[in-house]
Amino acid sequence: MIAVTDGVLAWGREAIRSYQRSVGVREWTVGSTGGLYVHSSFRYRPKRQHRVVSCRPTMVVPGSDRLKIPFRTLGAAFADFAECHPDKLAIHSIDQRQSVAFGSLRELVDRTAARMRALGVDRGSRVAILSGECLEKLVLMFAAWRCGATACPFHAEIAPGHLRSILAVIAPRLVVWRRGDLDGETLTAGLSCPSMPFRSLDDGMFAPGAESSGGRPAQAGQEYAPSDEGCIFATSGTTDRPRCVVWDHFGLWLCGLSTIDFTGLSPDDRLLEYRTFSWLSPQIVTFMPFLTLGLSVFIAAGFSRTRFFDWVREHKITVAAGVPTVINMLLDQPVDVERAEIASLRLMTASSAPLAPERWRQFEDRYGIPILQFYGASEGGWLCGNRHNRRKHGTVGPPAKHMDLAILNAKDDICPPGMEGEITIRGPQTATDLISAEGKWTDRRPYRLSERVRVGDLGVMDADGFVTVTGRVKDVILRGGVSIAPLEIDAAMMTHPGVREAAAIGVPDRIWGEEVVCYIVPVEGAAPSAADLLAFATTVLPDFKRPRQVVFVDSLLRNDRGKVRRDDLKALWARMCGSGPQ
């Protein structure tokens, strides 16, 4: 059952009907309180058309006009920005030393969209964009949306075989690729769609006059609906075969609003992004707020420890995207910079992997830059986030504004504050489809608004509503029937002054089932002994959680997003030590 208020008509009845079809319901009615309501059960009186006698509500999806910033398309947003401040800086590519203002950006995107339409791209089709991170990649993404098509940005470093598999599964109408980043001719051989190379904004898809051979894009504001497919992203690495997630425009918009809520972003902000556009996180940290607010974005092809603060100083960056790996790099090899030199930078974000509380504090003490730790998932966007005016070290903040998050126990009951359970989500700020590494599609639309989905993480919520992620379900150590979250052990061991990083795992034990072993990366120049660290553990951890052995390593095994690969650490232990402590 879906109930919709008159106020939602700004979103459009056709869009509402699209959502009605997507979740498999037969009836919807006009209510009086605002928003889109989804019910898991209801009693219907057929003689009174559209009248609900009783129902059990499960969640609320806000109507577009009830949002703090109502939904609008890229075309409508760019038309507004170009009219209000055509000369304002929209995007600056640091590595390319190129800038584009909002007036020019609108013209460039519309011209590129017209060229795409000439090549057969229209509403509902898909455009695959294969390149490193550059200004052109953003223009192509925006142009795909201007056509009403799905933007599919993939990093050029994904293994060619995996890219070919992805292209075969998503069946794009057009593939655009950057010369010098990959072998596009070989990669796209055999595809039935056009393949267009480019090098810069001066050629290929972007060349002046290209629009004359194609139809004009749809009227700004009418190129797509909120429920239309918006993006397809890869969820993991360049060497493993990636999974992909599919998002609609409304879900992406809500994620952008959550970022604004977390950070307090405004149109005057200058945001730095240096991560791959192929991930969901940069899209919802940077590019959705850009589309929503018309702020200025500065992009780099990758992070540089030696240049980072120069970028901040030169471009007067106010907010910088971040990941724990970057924060650790700046801590382990400190940069000599005074806070006054980078006074414009009011905060950094941290997401994509856990940030140890001790490292969080150390970074803020060293550089004086506040960090906001967020918690997201490729299939759920923002789950939680610390706010610019409300945060707690060691937590990922309260649930995101547009996410229905609950922590459940083994009986699927909501855990009271302070009790650990499994994190679950539902709502429109979630992916519509998942694509497995083998190319199998899973349509989440029939249940994503009403059924809770487990994301594979354990967590606990405190009395103030702040969530602490305690670990992955698959990484939990089972010692004597007691579940132990490895992240708690990591954080405790990292409070030792000689420990830079720590990662706990469970290894086989004849008596306890599993026993705790902890990998340690020492601080450079420090030389703590195993005995020292085991003794220290007795002061910071209860007996059943203490490591029984420590293993010193130069670095922890991580994936390309900075997450510790505990399965690989377990395999390393097995090779080194056999079956584990006895």
Among 420, 444, 467, the domain-final residue is 467
Whether the pLDDT of residue 78 is over 90: the answer is yes
What pLDDT score does 514 carry? Answer: 84
- Given this model, what pLDDT does residue 63 score? 54
Query: Is there a single domain that holds both residue 458 and residue 513?
Result: no
Q: How many domains does the chain have?
A: 3
Question: CA 505 to CA 157: how far, in whole Å?
Answer: 31
Q: Which residues of 173-201 are buried (b: 16+ CB within 10 A; e: fewer)?
A: bbbbbbeebbebeebbeebebbbbbbeeb
Which has more confidence, 562 or 374? 374
Cα separation, 563 vs 236, whole angstroms: 11
More confident residue, 524 or 518: 518
Same domain, 266 and 311: yes
Condensed to tens digits (0 to 9), the pLDDT of residues 500-511 reads: 999 999 898 877
Q: Which of 18-27, 90-99, 540-549 has the lowest mean pLDDT?
A: 18-27
| Model confidence pTM above 0.75 | yes
pLDDT tens-digit readout, 236-279: 644 467 889 999 999 999 999 999 999 999 999 999 999 988 88
Give the per-residue pLDDT at 290.
98
Six-digit token string for 91:
């995007």
Distance between CA 377 and CA 329 in Å, rounded? Answer: 24
Burial of 357 from C-beta contacts in 10 A (0-12 / 13-18 / 19+):
buried
Same domain assignment for residues 382 and 521: no
* pLDDT (tens digit per residue) in 343-385: 999 999 999 877 888 889 999 999 999 999 999 998 999 999 9
Domain match, 304 and 406 both: yes
Q: How far apart are CA 374 and CA 403, in angstroms?
A: 13
Q: Give dist(CA 206, CA 364) in Å, integer.
A: 43
Looking at the structure, tell me whether residues 314 and 386 fall in a common domain: yes
309-338 mean pLDDT: 94
Q: Is residue 582 part of a domain?
A: no
Look at residue 226 in the predicted model and tell me its pLDDT.
Answer: 95
Residues 11 and 151 occupy one common structural domain = no
Cα separation, 22 vs 15, whole angstroms? 10
* CA distance linking residue 225 with residue 75, whole number of Å: 12
Residues 393 and 526 occupy one common structural domain: no
Residue 306 CB-density burial (10 A; 0-12 exposed, 13-18 middle, 19+ buried):
exposed
pLDDT on residue 30: 32
> DSSP assignment of 50-72, as one string?
T-EEEEEEEEEE--GGGSSS---
Query: Where residue 561 sits, what CATH number does that domain have?
Result: 3.30.300.30
Contact 133, 93 (CB under 8 A): no
Which one-letter DSSP state was computed for residue 276? -
- As a whole number, mean pLDDT of residues 557-567 equals 79
**Hey, which of 56-70, 139-153, 198-212 has the most confident mean pLDDT?**
139-153
Asked if residue 326 has pLDDT above 50, the reply is: yes
* 292 within some domain: yes
Residue 172 and residue 39 in one domain: no
Q: Which residue has the higher pLDDT, 47 or 484?
A: 484
How many Å apart are CA 81 and CA 264, to the nearest integer? 20
298 shares its domain with 368: yes
* DSSP type of residue 251: H
Amino acid at 215: G
- Tell me which amino acid residue 294 is: G
Name the 3-class secondary structure at 190.
coil
Residues 165 and 217 grouped into a single domain: yes
The parent domain of residue 230 ranges over: 74-467
In a domain, 527, yes or no: yes
Q: How far apart are CA 493 and CA 358, in angstroms?
A: 10
State the Cα torsion 49-50-56-59 to the nearest 10°.
170
What would the mean pLDDT of 484-497 be, rounded to a whole number? Answer: 89
Domain boundary among 15, 35, 66: 66
On whether residue 161 sits in a domain, the answer given is: yes
| C-alpha angle 518-519-525 in degrees, rounded to nearest 5 | 125
Torsion of CA 17, 20, 21, 27, to 10 degrees: -100
What average pLDDT does range 480-497 have in this prediction? Answer: 85
At 393, list the tokens: 């070290």
pLDDT mean across residues, the chain: 85
pLDDT at 530 over 80: yes
Q: Are 304 and 422 in the same domain? A: yes
Q: What percent of the chain has pLDDT over 70?
A: 85
Question: Which of 467, 494, 522 is the last residue in one of the domains?
Answer: 467
Q: Helix crossing, 530-540 with 486-493: angle to 10°?
A: 110
- In this prediction, residue 151 carries a pLDDT of 98
Which range has the worst mean pLDDT, 32-36, 365-369, 443-447, 456-460?
32-36
- CA-to-CA distance for 431 and 232, rounded, in angstroms? 10
Query: For position 27, what pLDDT does the model report?
Result: 37
Distances (CA, A) of 52 to 35, 180, 500: 16, 60, 60
42-59 average pLDDT score: 34
Q: Parallel, antiparallel, or unpaired for β 433-435 and 244-248? A: antiparallel
User: Could you give the CA distance from residue 42 to residue 294 in angstroms, rounded to a whole number?
Assistant: 43
Q: What's the CA gap between 556 and 501, in Å, rounded? A: 8
- Residue 35 has what pLDDT? 42
The span from the CA of 567 to the CA of 561, in Å, is 16
pLDDT in tens, 158-186: 888 889 999 999 999 999 999 999 998 88
357: Cβ–Cβ under 8 A, 6 or more apart, which residues? Answer: 393, 394, 491
Confidence of residue 433 (pLDDT cuts 50, 70, 90): very high
Q: For position 213, what pLDDT does the model report?
A: 56
Axis-axis angle for helices 102-118, 135-146 (nearest 10): 60
Retrieve residue 221's tokens: 């504001």
What's the maximum distance between 2 C-alpha atoms anywhere in the chain?
80
Q: What's the confidence (pLDDT) of residue 67? A: 85
Distance CA 465, CA 387 (A): 12
The yes-or-no verdict on residue 24 having pLDDT over 50 is no
pLDDT value of residue 578: 57
Domain membership flag for residue 533: yes
Q: Is 424 found in the same domain as 525?
A: no
Residue 474: predicted pLDDT: 83
Q: Report the pLDDT value the prediction gives residue 252, as an integer from 0 to 100.
A: 97
Q: CA-CA distance, 506 to 487, in Å (whole number)?
A: 12
Does any domain span residue 187?
yes
Q: What is the mean pLDDT of residues 492-507?
A: 92
pLDDT at 559 > cutoff 80: no
**Residue 157 near residue 137 (C-beta atoms within 8 A):** no
**pLDDT at 480 (0 to 100):** 75
Within 8 A by CB and 6+ apart from 119, the residues are 173, 174, 194, 196, 214
pLDDT tens per residue across span 187-243: 888 889 999 999 999 887 887 765 555 567 888 889 999 999 999 998 864 446 788
> What do you get for the CA distance between the two ends of the chain, in Å?
57
